[in-house]
Amino acid sequence: QKEVEQNSGPLSVPEGAIASLNCTYSDRGSQSFFWYRQYSGKSPELIMFIYSNGDKEDGRFTAQLNKASQYVSLLIRDSQPSDSATYLCAGHLYNQGGKLIFGQGTELSVKP
């Protein structure tokens, strides 16, 4: 079992809808979580991070963390075709020297 798991998708949503991307992790030593976006043929770029239980909002993006359930999610409100990309969840393993471990990524397609 991978330490960070995501549904690979593809996830398809209509323009203007809420896209919900989910991630689970197995190492309770993970203290912070990062969401990266990767457009086709490009390198990943950080869009959000979260380290406290609850929600963190940044524009149309909301990250949610539930440490008891070992669950992280990313909500994208008012989805746009430009949001179509692969979204990578990553756990920061403080107990293992601070390395970042990625999930498989979820491909999101926003249809006009």
- Residue numbers of the site for other proteins (CB under 8 A)? 6, 8, 32, 34, 36, 42-46, 49, 88, 90, 92, 97-105
Q: Considering the complex, what minimum distance in angstroms separates the CB of residue 16 from other proteins?
A: 28
The tokens for 77 are 């409100």
Q: Considering the complex, what minimum distance in angstroms separates the CB of residue 107 from other proteins?
A: 10
The tokens for 48 are 């959000």
For other proteins, the closer CB: 87 or 110? 87
Distance CA 50, CA 32 (A): 6
Site of tokens 């043929």: 41
Distance CA 12, CA 86 (A): 12
CA angle 9, 11, 16 (to 5 degrees): 165
Q: Considering the complex, what minimum distance in angstroms separates the CB of residue 15 from other proteins?
A: 26
For other proteins, the closer CB: 105 or 110? 105
For other proteins, the closer CB: 77 or 99? 99
Burial class (CB in 10 A: 0-12, 13-18, 19+), 25: buried
For other proteins, the closer CB: 3 or 75? 3
Q: Considering the complex, what minimum distance in angstroms separates the CB of residue 51 from other proteins?
A: 8
